[in-house]
Amino acid sequence: MLKVAVTGPTGEIGKPLMSELERRPEVASVLGMARRPFDPTEEGWEKVTYRRGDILDRGSLAALFDGADVAVHLAFAIFGSREETRKVNLQGTRNVFEAAIRSGVKRLVYASSVAAYGFHPENPQPLTEDVPARGSEGFYYSAQKAELEDLLSELLPGSGVEAYVFRPCIVAGPRATMLIEQTVEAVRVGDPVPALRKGIEKLPLVGPVLPDPGTPIQLVHHDDVARAMGAAITGDGPPGVYNLAGEGEVRVRDVARALGWRWVPVPGPAVSLGTAAAQRLKFVNSKLEWAIAADTPVLMDATRARQDLAWKPQHDALETLRETVVGAREKGLLD
C-alpha cells in the first residue's frame, strides 16, 4: 500500500488525480499541499488529507514527503510575470525535486508539458519522446518546462528514484477550461486581426468572429491525464518520459462552433489570432504569450504511454472540447 504526497492537488489536474487515486486500491493515503485553503471532504475524498504550504519553503516540502513512497509534483505558476513565474516554477520545482530525492521516495511523478519541446517549425511531426525538449525562449512557460526537465535529469543519477515525466498536450475538460479562457481573453482585449474586419464588418454576425489559420490542435481530457499518472504512481509501467494526447485534433473553427461563434479562414499564421493579439499585447498582458503557441502545429505521438502504461484515453479531442465549453459556461466564463 502506497503513501502518496502531492504538490498542487487543488488544480485542474490535481483534483481529477485525487479522485483517481481514491479509486486505486494500491494507494493507502494521499497527502496534498498547496497555498490556498482547501477541504478534501467537500470533494467526498476519504484517502486525501491536506495541509497548506509553499514549494518555496523547504521545511514544508520536507514534512510533505516524510515517509512518502511516491512524490507527485503538479504545483506550477501558469500565469504571471516572467520574474514571478521564474521564482516559483524554477526555484520551487528545484526545491520539490531535491526534497523528494532526499526523503527517499521510490517514485517521482512530474507534470511537464508538450510546451517543453518548444514551438519550432523544424521539429518533426508528430513528436515522439526521443525529440529533445528545447523549449522556446519567447514563451516563458515553454522555456521553464524545458529547463526543469534538464534539471531533473541532472539530479536523478545515483538517487535510486524512478522518475515519470508526463508531457500532455492542452489539458481540457469541464475542470480545465484554460483553452476557452484564453480564447475569450484574446477576443476581449480588442480586435485581434483588424484586416479581417474590412471584409466581414458588413455581415450580420452574432457573437465574436475567430480567425482560423487551420492549425491542428491536440487536446487531452483531465481524467485521462489522471489515469496515466495513476498508472505511474502505482508503478504499472517503466519510468521515463511520456507524451499524452487524446485521439483526433481540433482547429479554431471547432472552438468557434462549440462556443456558438463564427469563424473565418485566414491564409496563414501571420494573421492568426495568436500572432496578431500576442505580439501586439504580450508586454501588456503576459497571458497572451500563450496565444503564440496556436500558430505552430505541435502534434505528439502518444504510443509509448499506450504501450508501456496500458493507457487508453477515454475522450477524443472533439468530445473533450465540448465538455470544456460546458464547464466554461457553468463557471460563468462566457457570460
315 in Cβ contact with 257 (< 8 Å): no
**According to the model, what pLDDT value does residue 283 have?**
41
pLDDT, position 279: 44
Grid look-up 503576459 returns: 286
Between the alpha carbon of residue 5 and those of residues 95, 146, 250, the distances in Å are 14, 24, 35
pLDDT tens per residue, range 120-143:
989 999 999 999 999 998 888 999
Q: What is the pLDDT of residues 65-89, one digit of tens each?
A: 999 999 999 999 887 777 778 888 9
Bridge partners of 107, per DSSP, are 70, 162
Look at residues 167, 168, 164, 190 and name the one whose alpha carbon lies nearest to residue 179. 168
Mean of the pLDDT values across residues 180-199? Answer: 64
Q: Which residues contact 213 (CB under 8 A, 6 or more apart)?
A: 252, 265, 266, 267, 268, 269, 271, 272, 295
Mean pLDDT of the region 100-126: 96
What totals of helices (H) and strands (E) does the chain contain, helices first? 13, 11
Domain range summary for the chain, segments of one domain joined by + = 2-172+220-246+298-315
More confident residue, 212 or 195: 212
**Mean pLDDT over all residues of the chain?**
89
Query: Comparing C-alpha atoms, which of 232, 212, 198, 219 is closest to residue 308?
Result: 232
Instruction: With beta carbons less than 8 A apart as the criterion, state whether 116 and 137 touch.
Output: no
Distances (CA, A) of 74 to 22, 110, 297, 326: 17, 7, 25, 25
- The pTM assigned to this predicted structure is 0.90
Among 7, 328, 330, residue whose Cα is nearest residue 176: 328
**Nearest by Cα to 246 from 269, 216, 272, 275:** 216
Distances (CA, A) of 279 to 245, 268, 292: 28, 15, 8
Q: What are the start-end ranges of the H helices in 156-221? A: 178-188, 194-200
Please state, in angstroms and rounded to a whole number, the distance separating the CA atoms of residues 71 and 68.
Answer: 7
Maximum average pLDDT range among 138-147, 161-170, 275-284, 293-302: 161-170
Helices 14-23 and 222-233 pack at an angle, to 10 degrees, of 50
End-to-end distance of the chain based on CA atoms, in angstroms? Answer: 46
d(CA 119, CA 138) in angstroms, rounded, equals 9
C-alpha 245/C-alpha 304 separation (Å) is 11
For residues 183 and 134, the answer to whether their CB atoms sit within 8 Å is no
The alpha-helical segments, DSSP class H, found in the chain are 14-23, 58-65, 82-86, 92-103, 140-155, 178-188, 194-200, 222-233, 252-259, 273-281, 289-292, 303-308, 317-330
pLDDT at 328 over 60: yes
Task: Check residue 290 and give its pLDDT.
Answer: 58
Strands 70-73 and 107-111: parallel
What pairs with residue 166 in β-bridges? 111, 242
The topology (CATH level 3) of 2-172+220-246+298-315 is Rossmann fold (3.40.50)
